[in-house]
Amino acid sequence: MDNSDRCKIIVDAMGGDYAPQNAIVGAIDAERKNPGFDLFLVGKEKEIMKVLVDKNLSFDNSRIISAEEIIEMGDTPTEAIKKKLNSSIVVGARYVKEKKAHAFVSAGNTGAMMAASTLIMGRLPNVGRPTIGAEIPNVHGTCFLFDVGAGKDAKPNHLFEYAVMGTIYARELGGVSNPQVGILSMGEEESKGNEVTTAAYKLLKESKLNFVGNVEGRDILTGKVDVVVCDGFIGNILLKFGESVPKLLKHLLKKTAEKNFIDKIKIGLFKGTLKRALKDLDYQEHGGVPLLGINGISIIGHGSSTPKAIKNMVFRAYDMYKKNLNQKIEESLKEYANIIA
Amino acid sequence: MDNSDRCKIIVDAMGGDYAPQNAIVGAIDAERKNPGFDLFLVGKEKEIMKVLVDKNLSFDNSRIISAEEIIEMGDTPTEAIKKKLNSSIVVGARYVKEKKAHAFVSAGNTGAMMAASTLIMGRLPNVGRPTIGAEIPNVHGTCFLFDVGAGKDAKPNHLFEYAVMGTIYARELGGVSNPQVGILSMGEEESKGNEVTTAAYKLLKESKLNFVGNVEGRDILTGKVDVVVCDGFIGNILLKFGESVPKLLKHLLKKTAEKNFIDKIKIGLFKGTLKRALKDLDYQEHGGVPLLGINGISIIGHGSSTPKAIKNMVFRAYDMYKKNLNQKIEESLKEYANIIA
C-alpha cells in the first residue's frame, strides 16, 4: 500500500451480526458505485475469500488485510483491544494510525470501535473527548445530535467541543450553510440548564458559532436548530427511545385494528404507504454514525447493518475524506484552545 | 370549611392558557360525574362568577375561594410565590398546607406550582426532592417515568426516592401488583451508568423494591419495566421529545402524500383511523402529572389543558386521596431513611 493521496477505506469484514456477508457485499457495492476510493477488507482471509466466491464477487486479493481474531459483540471493549491485537478492529485502526489508510468502517462491537479509534488512531489536537453524531430526521430536514454515546458525564468544555465539531459536520456533510446550534435543556432560558449545560452556555455565548441558546426535547423533531449538543448519556437514551417509536406505532395500530373491522381494513391498505412514510426513520438509510475528534475517519455501524447500511457507511467515510473534515475540525478547535483546555 | 374527612379538592380557576373557562368547566364536570368529593374553585371571584353564568353552571358560591392576583405563565416561579401572596396558586397551596383541603389542581405556571407545593405545602418526611411522574403509553400498557422535571442534577439518593415513590404510585394508581423498576441508562450492565446512576444502582440493589437494573431508552416504549427512574433533566427532555413525535409523523405522511397520488388518497382515508390509534398518546387523556413527595396532593397540568384534561386531573387527585398515597409513601420512605439521608 503506498502513501499517495488517493482515498483508502478499510471495511471490517467481521463486524456486525451478519458478518462477513453483509459487510463484504455492502462494501464492494459501494466501491462499484463510486470508483473514487480504494476499498480494503480486513478480517479472516479464508472467510472473506469464501464470501467472494459464493457471491461471485471480484475483488483484488492484495486488498484483503489479514486479521485472524474477532472481537465479539459481548467482549469488554478496552480489554479486547489490548488482548486481541490481531483482531479486525485493532488491525483496521492500526492501519489508519500508520497512515496506510484514511478511514475505517465497522459494524462490530461499538465500544471496541470507540476504544480502538480513540486509543489506537488517537484524538485530534485539542479534542478532550471524541463524539458520536446522529442524524435525526425532522420536519425541516435533519437534526445533527452530538453526542449520542461516545462519552458520559461530559464537562462543559466537552459540550463546547461537540458544538464546534457538530457545526463543521452539519456544514460540510449536511450542506447547512451556517448551522444554528442549541444546547439540549429543560427550557429556553439560560437558567433552565443543569450545572454542566449552564456552564457550557456561557462558553458558547462567547464563541463565533451560530449559537442560539437552549433548546427543548421537542425542538429536535420540530427542527428549531440544526445542531443539538448534549451529554452522550442523554443523547444515547434519546436515540434509542426514538428508534423504538415505530414499534409503539405498530402496536397502537394493531390495537385499533382489533377494535374495529373498518379500521382493520384501512390499516391493511395503508401498510405500504406508512412504510414509505417512515423510510426516513430507518437507520439503514443513514448507515452508521461518525466518531468525530479522531485522527482518522471512524464510522461505527449498528450490529444489524444490512449491506445497504454498510454501503452508506463507506460513502459517508469517503465524503468525510473529500471534505477534509478532520483538518477543518483541527483548525477550528485550535482557535478555541484556551476554552477547551 | 370544616375539617371532616370528606375529600376536598381545589381547582385553580385561573390556571392555564384557556382559564378561567376550561378550568371551571372541567372541574365542575368532574364533580358532576363523581360525587365523592367537594370541589372548590380558587381565583378572581367576579371572573369565576361570570363563567358560571355564561355557561349556565350551578355551583355553590360558598365554595369559591377568592384570590385576586394571578401568577402569569412568564413569571419567575420562586419570586412570584413570594410576591403574589394573594394569587390563586399561593392561596390554593396555603389551603392544603392549613389542612382546609386535601388536593390542589392547577394548569397554571408549572414552576410556580412546583415551588408553591414544595415551599408552602412542604415535603413529606424523608423526601429530599419531590418528583413529577409521567405515564407513557407503551406496548404493554404504561411506563411510569420519574422524574420528568421537578428537579435536575439529581443525586443518587434522589433517584432512590423516585424509585420508592414511583413503585407506590404504579401499584396504587396504575394497578400494577409488584412493579418492576429500572434505572434509565446507556446499557443494561451496571457499569453502563453515569456517576449518579451507578451509585443509585448500588442503593437500589440493596432495597426491597423489585429492582431489575438498568434499562435503555428503547425499554420505555417496549415496556420492559413498569417504573423507570432518571434525572428530571433527562425525563423532561424525553417527555417533550415524545410529545413531538406525532408532529414528525404528520410531516412524513404529508411528504409521502405529495410524492404519490395513491398514497395521498390512502392517507386521506386513513386519517380517522390514525387519530384513533394515537389517542393514547394525547396527554389530555391523562390530564396532568402528579408531584409526589409533597405533604398534600398536587397535580400540575399542561398550559393548554382542555376541560377534559382538567376533569381527569381532578379525578387523579381524588384517586390519590382514596388510595392514601401520601401515607403509603411516608411509611415506605421511613423504612429507607438511612439510605436517603
Q: Which residue of A has its CA nearest to B219?
A: A241
Minimal CA separation from B308 to chain A, in Å: 22
Give tens-digit pLDDT for A222-231.
999 999 999 9
Which residues are CB-contacts of B257 (< 8 A; sequence separation ≥ 6)? Answer: B263, B264, B267, B268
Would you say residue A263 has pLDDT above 80? yes
Minimal CA separation from A277 to chain B, in Å: 5
Minimal CA separation from A15 to chain B, in Å: 20
B248 inside 8 A of chain A by CB? yes
Average pLDDT, chain A: 93
> What pLDDT, on a 0 to 100 scale, did the predictor assign at position B288?
86
Of the pLDDT bands very low, low, confident and very high (cuts 50, 70, 90), residue A285 is: low
| A7-127+284-328, CATH topology level | Isopropylmalate Dehydrogenase (3.40.718)
> What pLDDT, on a 0 to 100 scale, did the predictor assign at position A3?
42
Indicate the DSSP class of residue B120: I
Measure CB to CB from residue B217 to each of A220, A238, A247 and give the nearest one: A238
Would you say residue A336 has pLDDT above 60? yes
A45 inside 8 A of chain B by CB? no
Of these ranges, A29-33, A73-77, A262-266, B302-306, the one predicted with the greatest mean pLDDT is A29-33
B249 inside 8 A of chain A by CB? yes
- Sign (positive or negative) of CA dihedral A191, A192, A193, A194: positive
Would you say residue B2 has pLDDT above 60? no
> What pLDDT, on a 0 to 100 scale, did the predictor assign at position A260?
84
CB contact under 8 A, B249 and A253: no
Helices (H) and strands (E) in chain A, counts: 15, 11
Helices (H) and strands (E) in chain B, counts: 15, 11
Give tens-digit pLDDT for B143-180.
999 999 999 999 999 999 999 999 999 999 999 999 99
**Which residues from B are below 8 Å from A276, CB to CB?**
256, 260, 263
Q: Which residue of B has its CA nearest to A243?
A: B218
Measure CB to CB from residue A251 to each of B139, B253, B263 and give the nearest one: B139
First to last CA, chain A: 37
Give the DSSP per-residue string, A220-245. Answer: HHHTS-SEEE--HHHHHHHHHHHHTH
Measure CB to CB from residue B277 to each of A153, A220, A256 and give the nearest one: A256
A266 inside 8 A of chain B by CB? yes
Superfamily of domain B131-243: Isopropylmalate Dehydrogenase (3.40.718.10)
CB contact under 8 A, A252 and B277: yes
**Which residues from A are below 8 Å from B139, CB to CB?**
247-248, 251
Minimal CA separation from B217 to chain A, in Å: 4
Interface predicted TM-score (ipTM): 0.92
Give tens-digit pLDDT for B272-300.
888 888 877 776 666 789 999 999 999 99
Q: How far is Cα B223 from Cα B202, in angstroms, rounded to an integer?
A: 23
Of the pLDDT bands very low, low, confident and very high (cuts 50, 70, 90), residue B3 is: very low
Give tens-digit pLDDT for A34-56.
889 999 999 999 999 999 999 99
Would you say residue A311 has pLDDT above 50? yes
Q: What angle do CA B250, B252, B254 make, to 5 degrees?
A: 70
- Residue pairs spanning A and B at CB distance below 8 A: 162
Same CATH fold, A132-243 and A7-127+284-328? yes
Would you say residue A2 has pLDDT above 60? no
Give tens-digit pLDDT for B170-210.
999 999 999 999 999 999 999 899 999 999 999 999 999 99
Would you say residue A277 has pLDDT above 70? yes
Where do the structural domains in chain A lie, given as residue ranges?
A: 7-127+284-328, 132-243
Would you say residue A294 has pLDDT above 70? yes
Superfamily of domain B7-127+284-323: Isopropylmalate Dehydrogenase (3.40.718.10)
CB contact under 8 A, B256 and A277: yes
For the residues B136-147, what does the mean pLDDT come to? 94
Give tens-digit pLDDT for B110-128.
999 999 999 999 999 999 9
In B150-179, the residues whose Cβ lies within 8 Å of chain A are 152-153
**Which residues from B are below 8 Å from A184, CB to CB?**
237
Percent of chain A residues topping a pLDDT of 90: 79
Would you say residue A88 has pLDDT above 70? yes
Q: What are phi and psi of A69, to 5 degrees?
A: -105, 160
Give tens-digit pLDDT for A116-152.
999 999 999 999 999 999 999 999 899 999 999 999 9
> B267 to each of A273, A276, B9, B250, how far by Cα in Å?
8, 12, 44, 10
Would you say residue B330 has pLDDT above 90? yes
Give tens-digit pLDDT for A219-262.
999 999 999 999 999 999 999 999 899 888 888 888 888 888 88
Minimal CA separation from A240 to chain B, in Å: 5
> B93 to each of A24, B85, B118, how far by Cα in Å?
66, 11, 9
**Which residues from A are below 8 Å from B275, CB to CB?**
none
Average pLDDT, chain B: 93
Q: How far is Cα A340 from Cα A234, in angstroms, rounded to an integer?
A: 21
| A132-243, CATH topology level | Isopropylmalate Dehydrogenase (3.40.718)
**Which residues from B are below 8 Å from A245, CB to CB?**
221, 245
Which residues are CB-contacts of B98 (< 8 A; sequence separation ≥ 6)? Answer: none
Cell 376550561 identifies what position?
B22
CB contact under 8 A, B217 and A242: yes
B241 inside 8 A of chain A by CB? yes
